[in-house]
Amino acid sequence: MERLIFLFLSLVSFSFAELRVVVTYPWIGELVREVGADRVELYVIAKGTEDPHFVIPKPSHIAKLRSADLLVIQGAQLEAGFLPPLLLQSNNPKIQPGSEGFLDLSSFVRLIEKPEVISRAMGDVHPEGNPHYNLDPHNMPVLARAVKERLCQLDGEGCTLYEGRLKDFLGRWEERLKSWDKGFSALKGVKVVAYHSLFNYLLKRYGIVLLETLEPLPGIPPTRDHIQRLINLKGVRSILLGVYNEERTARFVAGRIGARVVVLPHDVGSIPEVKDLFSLYDELLRRLKGD
């Protein structure tokens, strides 16, 4: 009975309300904004400066999830540390996994580093593969389409608007993609070390060679033995950090091997220069090149 009432209410409400969309990370928010414009009311859970693995839950998160029509997540277990209890307490049947109001973007891209065998000796490995796929700009068009599809599904009346906005976005994106491809191609073959396997999609896309990570295993802080091995590396140009990683270890290793430490944005809002999806890759390119 409750479900019937709920179904009836949801059918009624869509006809005059705009969509309330909650997303986990700022870059997803940007995609939703590009496609949905003012027709969607948007709320972003995490801040760009936060470590995406560890987001601090607050009462407002639950409040927003309660009234959401759609929840869009990055998936591949990146949100596993904070989202499940929020989702449970939201008590909102519309946005539970498997329902129409739940969109997991990781299902639209091919994930890399999917482990053959899962063993706990491998570190904090995500069984689905590396979840940081948003760092490859070539993944954005398919994701924007997925967002548009779902918005159309939930709000048929707005579909024409969403289609138009998507087309406009894709046009601008393809154009910029050409210039990024050109810019990054100059970095092919450059050797780098990273703190965490955060930028692997970007590095893989453009043939930048990731020799090692400062973490001996994903999610485990650098140990002395591991750092001892790293200081014998040759020909490393940069050590890449996320904005939330500690810099001391990186500075120590960089000093020993003659590399430079580069802090890279991983999301919109992680540094002041990155205000939208376009400037995210502009800034990644600028910082990697060392301008």
Partner 1 sequence: MTDLVIQTILLSFILLGIHSYFGLEIVRRGIVFADIAVAQFSAAGLALSLLLSGEPSYLISVVFALLAGFLVALSKRVGEYSEAFIGLLYAFGFSAIVLLLSRSPHGMEDYLRLTASDILFVSRREIVETGILYASLGFLLYLRRHIKGDFFRELLFFTLFALTVASSVKLVGVLVVFSILVAPALVSVMLGKGLIFAWVYGAAVNTAGILLSFRLDLPTGFSLVFFHALLGVALTVYVATFRRRKGY
Stretch that binds partner 1, among 77-85, 142-150, 169-177, 187-195 (CB under 8 A): 77-85
122 binds partner 1 (CB under 8 A): yes
The distance in angstroms from the start CA to the end CA of the chain is 63
Which residue's structure tokens are 């138009």? 164
**Interacting stretch for partner 1, rule CB under 8 A, among 15-23, 116-124, 235-243, 276-284?**
116-124
Which of 86, 143, 277, 288 binds partner 1 (CB under 8 A)? It is 86
Q: Which residue has the tokens 């191609």?
A: 185
Task: Establish if 80 lies at the interface with partner 1 (CB under 8 A).
Answer: yes
Shortest separation between residue 85's beta carbon and partner 1, angstroms: 4
Closest to partner 1 by CB, 9 or 80:
80
Q: How many residues bind partner 1 (CB under 8 A)?
A: 28
Q: Which stretch binds partner 1 (CB under 8 A): 155-163, 166-174, 218-226, 230-238?
A: 218-226
Cβ proximity of 115 and 122 under 8 Å? yes
Which residue lies nearer to partner 1 by CB, 6 or 188? 6
Alpha helices in 113-192 (DSSP H): 140-154, 159-185
Amino acid at 149: E
The verdict on 85 binding partner 1 (CB under 8 A) reads yes
The kind and range of the H/E element at 21 are strand 19-23
- In whole angstroms, the minimum distance from the beta carbon of 140 to partner 1 comes to 28
Long-range own/partner contacts, residues 54-63 (CB < 8 A, 24 or more apart): 54/81, 54/82, 55/24, 55/79, 55/81, 55/82, 56/82, 57/82, 57/85, 57/86, 61/86, 62/86, 62/89, 62/90
What are the phi and psi torsion angles at 242 (to 5°)?
-80, 165
Binding status of residue 123 toward partner 1 by CB under 8 A = yes
Residue 185 interacts with partner 1 (CB under 8 A): yes or no: no
Strand order in the sheet with 70-73: 40-44, 19-23, 70-73, 102-104
* CB neighbourhood size of 113 (10 A): 16
6 binds partner 1, rule: CB under 8 A:
no
Binding status of residue 142 toward partner 1 by CB under 8 A: no
- Choosing from 12, 47, 58, 182, the residue that interacts with partner 1 (CB under 8 A) is 58
Among 60, 99, 153, 179, binds partner 1 (CB under 8 A): 60
Amino acid at site 132: H
Of all helices (H) and strands (E), which one includes residue 255? Answer: helix 248-257
175 CA to centre of own chain: 22
Stretch that binds partner 1, among 18-26, 42-50, 79-87, 137-145 (CB under 8 A): 79-87
Instruction: State in angstroms the smallest separation of the CB of 190 from partner 1.
Output: 29
Query: Which is nearest to 70 in space by CA: 91, 100, 114, 31?
Result: 100
Q: Which stretch binds partner 1 (CB under 8 A): 78-86, 156-164, 165-173, 262-270?
A: 78-86
The span of 54-62, 104-112, 132-140, 233-241 binding partner 1 (CB under 8 A) equals 54-62
**Contact residue for partner 1 among 44, 125, 193, 239 (CB under 8 A):** 125
Which residue ranges make up the site for partner 1 (CB under 8 A)?
Answer: 53-54, 56-60, 62-63, 66, 80-81, 85-86, 88-89, 120-125, 217-221, 223
